[in-house]
Amino acid sequence: MTAATDAPAPIARRAPPEGVLGQLWRNIVHEPLTLFFFVVLVAIVVIAVFAPVIAPYDPVEQSLLSVNEQPSADHWLGTDQFGRDVLSRIIFGARTSLVLGLLSPALAALIGTTLGLIGGYFGGWPDRLLGRVVDLLLAFPALLLGILVAAALSSGFWSMVAVLTIAFAPRFARIARASTLSLRHEPFVEAAVAGGVSHFRIILRHILPNIAGPVVVVLTLWIATAIRLEATLSFLGMGTQPPQASWGNIIRDGLSNMYGSAWPIVSAGVAITITVLAFNMIGDAVRDVLDPETRA
């Protein structure tokens, strides 16, 4: 008789872990409403990037012969009291709102996270000073703080960037500081300190990657708030100034001509609403992936 030999059982290979982007894309695809707003957001970004090619008219070109026209084949959203094409102004206004909405929270996240890391890691008088300044700024609502800063600065694009950055930075500083404080005395950080690793290297390689999740979640959600605040300040005359198109000043110009043509107000209002909803939906998807409290 020949001894039967058992074939070795195949070793089951574990699938590689899914990356953050893969999880985010899966969450977006599996939620029809989120997927719809993701497609809408991509379309808005494409329109803003290629505004000079897509817009049928110059957004600042005036025509006394085309004042307050209703929607037609020549002007899909009509014209305003100066004969300017509303659709073209909405398209170019998307560029202004998106750039401000992305740039200001990004700068605020960079500044606020840096300050929060320094205060939370080193403690002492830098932390106490940072805490007092942050508490002072957080005592004002973002809109009121933006109005105060805008009143002190001249109106314009870069003034709006500075206004929104100052309004948002304390929020990021508080989140980064709280997260750093919770990690400062973790065993892996204390082991790195005992091993003689420099503070800069510890912050860069051990602290920052572990607090990036909450910061990115807040950054994504505050983009929508930045777009809304920019429109509000421009409506109040403290933001983007005419003739440069902005959704806020389109509504402001249309308010004085509401009985002549309501299409500028309606169009800009719908554009703001859809864009803010889209960013909020994507922000919720990012939070579901990065926030450990909501992660499945």
In a domain, 69, yes or no: no
**Is 272 part of a structural domain of the chain?**
yes
Where is average pLDDT lowest: 95-99, 141-145, 161-165?
141-145
Highest mean pLDDT among 3-17, 156-170, 267-281: 267-281
Residue 59's pLDDT is what? 92
Which residues are within 8 A (CB) of 118 and not within 5 positions of it... i.e. 6 or more apart? Answer: 126, 130
Question: CA angle 109-218-143, nearest 5°?
Answer: 80
- pLDDT tens string 33-90: 999 999 999 999 999 999 999 999 999 988 888 899 999 999 999 999 999 999 999 9
What confidence tens digit (pLDDT) does each residue in 97-111 have? Answer: 899 889 999 999 999
Instruction: Give the separation between CA 129 and CA 215, rounded to whole angstroms.
Output: 22
H/E element holding 220? helix 208-235
Cα angle: 18, vertex 25, 31; to 5 degrees: 125
Q: What is the pLDDT of residue 7?
A: 53
The answer to the question of residue 47 being in a domain is: no
Residue 224 has pLDDT above 50, yes or no: yes
3-state secondary structure of 26: helix
Query: How many Cβ atoms are within 10 Å of 284's Cβ, its own excluded?
Result: 18
Q: Answer yes or no: is 66 within a domain.
A: no
> What is the rounded average pLDDT of the residues 151-175?
86
Burial of 134 (0-12, 13-18, 19+ CB in 10 A): buried
Residue of 280, 240, 221, 287 whose CA lies nearest to 99: 240
Domain presence at residue 222: yes
115 within some domain: yes
Domain tally, the chain: 1
Residue 15 lies in a domain: no
Structure confidence by residue, pLDDT tens digits, 231-287: 888 888 888 888 888 899 999 988 888 888 899 999 999 999 999 999 999 988 888
Asked if residue 25 is part of any domain, the answer here is no
Domain span holding position 145: 53-60+74-290
* Residues in a beta bridge with 85: 79
Give 196-205 pLDDT, tens digit per residue.
888 888 888 8
CATH number at residue 181: 1.10.3720.10
Could you give the angle at the alpha carbon of 89 between the alpha carbons of 85 and 95, nearest 5°? 155
pLDDT confidence bin for 12, thresholds 50/70/90: very low
**Would you tell me how many other CB atoms lie within 10 Å of the CB of residue 187?**
7
- pLDDT above 80 for 18: no
